[in-house]
Structure 1
C-alpha cells in the first residue's frame, strides 16, 4: 500500500508559510519525527480561543484534521496540560501554532 502523503516537515512548512504570507504568526512549538510524525495544530487568534486540531483516521480510510480540544477561558492550564500529555504519549509528534483569524482554513486543506 502506497502512502501519498507529504513528509510531515514539508506539510508543516507549507502551513507556516501560508499563514505568514496572509499576515499571521506561525511557529513550531515541538519538532517531531521529520517524515511521518503526527501533527497537532494549535489554532488561535491573537492568543485567544485556542483550538487543538489533530489528524484522525476516518471510516473511509482517509485521515483528516479534527478539532479535538478547545481552550477553556476559565481554565487555560487544562489546555496546556493536555498538550503536554499528548507529547508524552507521542514524542514523535509535532506541535505547531497558527495565530491568525480563521486559522482552520490553513490546516492541511
Structure 2
C-alpha cells in the first residue's frame, strides 16, 4: 500500500525547460503566425455566417480547393451593382483585396463571362456572392461611391 501511494505521488514527465524529456524543439515565431493563411473553407464559412447574421444573403457560387484555394467575393445590393474583389499580391509580399471588375449596366453579361473565365483559369477559386448593403465591410474594404 505504501508503494502505491509513493508511485501516485511521483511527478509526471514534463516537457518543461528543466526536464530531461524535452518536447519538440521546433518553434514558431509570432511573425510567422501572423502570416499564416486561414484555410479557404473556414474563411468562406465565416464570411457567409457574418453576412447572414446581419440579415443579408450569401452563397457559394463555386467551390475551390478546401484549404489553399483563392477567393473571389462578389458584392451586390439586391442583385444589382455587382463588384468582384480578389486578393492580389502586393510588392511587400502581402495580399490585399482589390476590385477586379464592376458590372457594366449596359452589358451585364460581360460580368458573368468574366466570372466564368476566372473560374476556368483557376480551378482552386472559390466564388462567393454577398448580397447586402455595403458588402465590402465583410472583407475589410470600404464601399466606394462613384
Q: Is the 8 A contact 1:15 1:108 kept in 2?
A: no
Aligned to 2:67: 35
**Looking at both structures, which has the greater relative contact order when contacts are Cα pairs under 8 Å and sequence separation is at least 6?**
1
Q: When the two structures are aligned, how many residues end up with a matched partner?
A: 108
- The CA deviation at 1:108 is 5.3
* Structure 1 position 92 matched with structure 2 position 124: yes
Which entry has the higher C-alpha Rg, 1 or 2?
2
Structure-1-length-normalised TM-score = 0.95
Structure 1 distance, partners of 2:137, 2:37, is 19
Among 92, 103, 126, the alignment partner of 1:60 is: 92
Deviations 1:24-59 (CA, angstroms, capped at 9, x unpaired): 000000000000111010000000100000010011
Q: Is the 8 A contact 1:11 1:108 kept in 2?
A: no
* Structure 1 position 46 matched with structure 2 position 46: no
Q: Which runs of 4+ in 1 moved over 4 A?
A: none
Structure-2-length-normalised TM-score = 0.71
Structure 1 unmatched runs, 5+? none
Structure 2 distance, partners of 1:81, 1:22, is 30
Aligned to 1:9: 41
- The CA deviation at 1:5 is 1.0
SS in 2 for 1:73: coil
Structure 2 distance, partners of 1:5, 1:108, is 16
